[in-house]
Amino acid sequence: MTTKITAIYPENAAKPAAPYSPAVQAGNTFYFSGQIALTPEGKMNNATLDTELTQVFTNIEALLSAGNITKEHIAKVVIYLADLNDYDAVNIRYAEFLGDITPPARSCFQVAKLPLDAKVEIEIIATL
């Protein structure tokens, strides 16, 4: 039996600039492509780390909504940072984003460079 894979393209999010889907659903699992601070108009909202994080979390919320799921469905998060010195600041905003849900499993890495000179990129896996 083959699992059907359905692409998720929220109306209120930036369109991909490369050949990938913002998110896909495979059975009961949702895989979200890494989210950077792209606005729905395709512009980077990267004045500061805080503005980037606000946009990234807005993008994630749009994907969750388009998939008819919530933060409570997030099982795994991967955070990519251009500068690991931003780790503590990201943790504060990340905790605010999650609120009082059980925190998902998570990894965090510093990488050499992110698309469009982003300071942070976040990808998630969610499940029903």
Contact 4, 18 (CB under 8 A): no
Tell me if 69 sits within 8 A of 126, measured CB to CB: yes
The torsion defined by the Cα of 128, 110, 92 and 56, in degrees rounded to 10, comes to -60
Clarify whether 108 is annotated catalytic: yes
Distance between CA 57 and CA 55 in Å, rounded? 5
| Token pair 């409570």 in the structure block, residue | 72
Interatomic CA distance for residues 52 and 54, integer angstroms:
5
Helix residue ranges, H only, 29-86: 49-66
Candidates 24, 44, 89, 108; catalytic one:
108
Active site residues: 108
